[in-house]
């Protein structure tokens, strides 16, 4: 038996605002309210089944520097360019973490500045 990743926790200042962004990006919904944040996941998902839930934990402590761990997302049913336009319209913005410009992925920030990457491969076509 092995462990499974069931939750990813992201510290943030405004969980409600960030929930709007990440729910739209991932097709998730708010599935739980915590005293200090929100749990996001697929509709009807049970804990530990399917993809990990995303916990948005409210904090007043500012983050310093690049995140040591980040999320990678892949387009589903569209190409990378189309998905990049959608993510930008939702509030994502380009991030420079030292990439060369030759990468096949695009580095972005969510509305609070947390880095994530948009990969190239359409997971629905893979």
**Which region, left, alpha or beta, applies to residue 31 given φ > 0 means left and ψ of -120 to 50 means alpha?**
alpha
Contact indicator for 115, 108 with CB cutoff of 8 Å? yes
Contact indicator for 122, 116 with CB cutoff of 8 Å? no
pLDDT tens-digit readout, 68-108: 889 999 999 999 999 999 999 999 999 998 899 999 999 99
Q: Examine the fold and report which residue of 60, 82, 102 is the final residue of a domain before the chain moves on.
A: 60
C-alpha to C-alpha distances, 49 to 9, 43, 44, 52, nearest whole angstrom: 17, 12, 10, 8
Alpha-carbon dihedral angle through residues 77, 116, 105, 99, given to the nearest 10 degrees: 170
- Asked if residue 73 and residue 52 are part of one domain, the reply reads no
- Asked if residue 75 and residue 55 are part of one domain, the reply reads no
Asked whether residue 56 carries a pLDDT value surpassing 90, the answer given is yes
Average pLDDT value for the chain: 92
Q: Examine the fold and report which residue of 60, 86, 104 is the final residue of a domain before the chain moves on.
A: 60
Q: Examine the fold and report which residue of 60, 87, 103 is the final residue of a domain before the chain moves on.
A: 60
pLDDT tens-digit readout, 11-25: 999 999 999 999 999
- Asked if residue 73 and residue 55 are part of one domain, the reply reads no
Per-residue pLDDT, 61: 85
Residues in the chain: 126
Its domain, for residue 115, covers 69-125
- Asked if residue 113 and residue 89 are part of one domain, the reply reads yes
- Asked if residue 54 and residue 6 are part of one domain, the reply reads yes
- Asked if residue 55 and residue 103 are part of one domain, the reply reads no
Partners of residue 37 on adjacent β-strands: 34, 57
- Asked if residue 94 and residue 53 are part of one domain, the reply reads no
Q: How many domains does one find in the chain?
A: 2
- Asked if residue 56 and residue 73 are part of one domain, the reply reads no
pTM (predicted TM-score) = 0.90
Contact indicator for 26, 72 with CB cutoff of 8 Å? no
Instruction: Give the span between the Cα atoms of 66 and 61, in whole angstroms.
Output: 15
């Amino acid at each position: 038996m092995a462990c499974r990743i069931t939750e990813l926790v992201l510290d943030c200042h405004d969980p409600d605002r960030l929930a709007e962004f990440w729910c739209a990006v991932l097709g998730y919904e708010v599935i739980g309210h915590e005293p200090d944040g929100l749990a996001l996941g697929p509709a009807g998902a049970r804990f530990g089944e399917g993809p990990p839930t995303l916990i948005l934990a409210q904090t007043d402590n500012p983050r310093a520097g690049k995140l040591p761990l980040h999320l990678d997302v892949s387009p589903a049913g569209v190409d990378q360019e189309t998905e990049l336009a959608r993510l930008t319209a939702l509030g994502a913005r380009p991030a420079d973490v030292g990439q060369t410009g030759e990468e096949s992925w695009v580095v972005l920030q969510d509305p609070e500045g947390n880095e994530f990457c948009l990969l190239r491969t359409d997971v629905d076509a893979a």
